[in-house]
A and B are shown apart, each in its own frame.
Chain A
Amino acid sequence: MAEQLILEAKGLDAGYGEIQVLWGVDLAVRRGEITALIGSNGAGKTTLMRALSGLIAIRGGLYRSGGDDLAGRSAAEILAHGIVHVPEGRRLFGAMSVEENLLMGAYLRTAGRAEIRQDLDRVYTTFPRLRERRNQQAATLSGGEQQMCAIGRGLMSAPQLLMIDELSLGLSPLLVEQLVDALRVLNKAGTSILLVEQDVTIALDLCHRAFVMDMGRIVREGSGEELLADPIVRDAYLGVLQE
């Protein structure tokens, strides 16, 4: 069972300075699936992402991947383990070109030039717009293109698990649909995905399983359909009026 979980957190605590944000978070991402994490602003979703990618320290609890203990590992070690974090707000290197950004994604890889080239080509096939703009400065891209570049940069690390924070933030519905389609294709090709998303409808529609976070804790979990049908989730996050 443990081998089927590409990411497993049990009783995870984390925070900033004196402020504890995460209180005993339990989360499991199955290999080959798309898992969504939803919740309102300030629920601790981004903090959880930062803890899982090693940007902030884990203060308590268990963090494993495929049976290996990842608690207390550095960001580089977690990345080398195949878990990559596409951060909220894209965080591209604005003054670098699109291609330089993508190459930064492969920074840790020891693979030869040919293999990196091949992966670069795969990213360009997934997002043809990036190929057109490969030599353009990342800061001059549109929001949607920036998100493609950020996801592409994540993919360049050849990850097993892609963690995306706020996929749809600030993007038009049409663009979000394109990105969602791209994620489906990536997932079919074998990449597991953990998606943090404010737009609950999109997230629950796309995912196999979902977790709901509130006040730094996981308060619900289930399949996308289950949660979509859950009256409390509908009430709190979908704004559907009860009849």
Chain B
Amino acid sequence: MQAMQILINALVLGSLYACIAIGFSLVWGVLNVINLIHGSFIVLGAYLAFGLYQSLHLSPWYAIFVAAPLFFALGYVIQRLILNRVITAPVLVTLTLTFGLDLILNNAMIYFFTADYRKLTLSPPLGSVSIAGAVVPVDRLIATATALLLTGLLYLLLRRSRIGRAIVAVRLDRDAAVLMGVHVPSIYAVAFGLGAALAGCAGVLMALIFPISPLTSSAYLGKAFVVCVLGGLGSVSGALAGGLLLALVESVGSTYLGPSHATTLSFLLLIIFLILRPQGLVGRKGFE
């Protein structure tokens, strides 16, 4: 019975981790940019959900439909106007640039929203259901389903659509993609926009479960990193596998060792993977 509870917790947390990581992994894989704003995008998404619920009483499920286009546009513009100028520079340059942008965005959030922790509390609460002896709050269940849906949508977009194929083509062989008539700067902007949209949506889902503060952004970014290393960079299935593995380890760790050691355990796992299996669970192939 406890095992069931751990498994369900891991599934809930794991799908959210995957959702956090796929956008980060997409940008890293396609643009070779380690996007340090990703964590702040997630927090901004959470504030968006919080604000929409407080002011308009708009449920987070609907906030997703606001967040996705808004964050896509934000990411597209940032890539088009700023990042594309230095995209061919060594990875340290783009890393520093996203670090700077993250400082600006994060401090702007602290300035406007303060560093106080806030919590989006649904009223009336949705209660919880019991699945095979395990208790799961309904809002978490919906967040899990939405996270998995978003992950699946990205997979379908990359595999089945014309623009998705172009993104994968640019990742696999940039010059060959150019010969097919692909305009690489636009594809970069679309990929970065998708990454931002996924971060924003993940933030909306996070608002349902975790307290919101600009200070949490580095924790989200850290999770995205760990998931990418565990699962393997550059594939949706890798992010999913990495997210579930990380969540499973954390759930087991916090049950038996206490919540404070869950993170210790996950970073221990990270180090083990870096030494023994640096390509991650799902090896490096195309972004599929």
Contact = CB atoms under 8 A, between A and B. Distances in A.
A84 B162 CA distance: 19
B180 A96 contact: no
A152 interface: no
Contacts of A85: 179
A139 B288 CA distance: 15
A223 B146 CA distance: 66
Interface string A187-208: 0000000000000000000000
B142 interface: no
Interface in A66-91: 74-76, 79-80, 84-85, 87, 91
Interface stretch (B75-83, B100-108, B129-137, B164-172): B164-172
B90 interface: no
A107 interface: yes
B179 A96 contact: no
A92 B172 CA distance: 9
A103 interface: yes
Contacts of B287: 95
Given A87-B175, A96-B169, A104 B180 contact: yes
Contact of A94 (B172, B177, B178): B172
Contacts of B118: none
Interface in B160-192: 162, 165-166, 168-169, 172-173, 175-183
Interface string A167-201: 00000000000000000000000000000000000
Given A76-B183, A107-B162, A95 B178 contact: no
B176 A75 contact: no
Interface in A100-116: 100, 103-105, 107-108
Nearest to B235: A95
Nearest to A107: B180
Interface of B is mostly: helix
Contact of B176 (A76, A93, A95): A93
Interface residues of B, number: 20
Contacts of A53: 179
A52 to B, nearest CB: 11
A157 interface: yes
A153 B172 CA distance: 16
A80 B168 contact: no
Most central of B172, B177, B182 by chain A CB within 10 Å: B172
A55 B179 contact: yes
A89 to B, nearest CB: 10
Contact of B286 (A91, A93, A103, A104): A93
A153 B180 CA distance: 9
B175 A104 contact: no
Contacts of A76: 178, 181-183
B168 A93 contact: yes
Contacts of B162: 103, 107
Contacts of A95: 168, 172, 285-288
Nearest to A85: B179
B173 A93 contact: yes
A55 B168 contact: no
Contacts of A80: 181
B286 A107 contact: no
B179 to A, nearest CB: 5
A176 to B, nearest CB: 22
Contact of B165 (A75, A87, A103): A103
Interface in B241-288: 285-288
6 contacts: A92-B173, A103-B162, A104-B169, A104-B180, A107-B162, A107-B165
Given A87-B175, A100-B165, 18 more contacts: A55-B178, A75-B181, A79-B179, A84-B179, A85-B179, A87-B176, A92-B176, A93-B177, A95-B168, A95-B172, A95-B288, A104-B166, A104-B169, A104-B180, A105-B180, A107-B162, A107-B165, A107-B182
Interface of B: 162, 165-166, 168-169, 172-173, 175-183, 285-288
Q: Which 4 A-B pairs have the closest CB atoms?
A: A95-B286, A108-B181, A91-B176, A76-B181
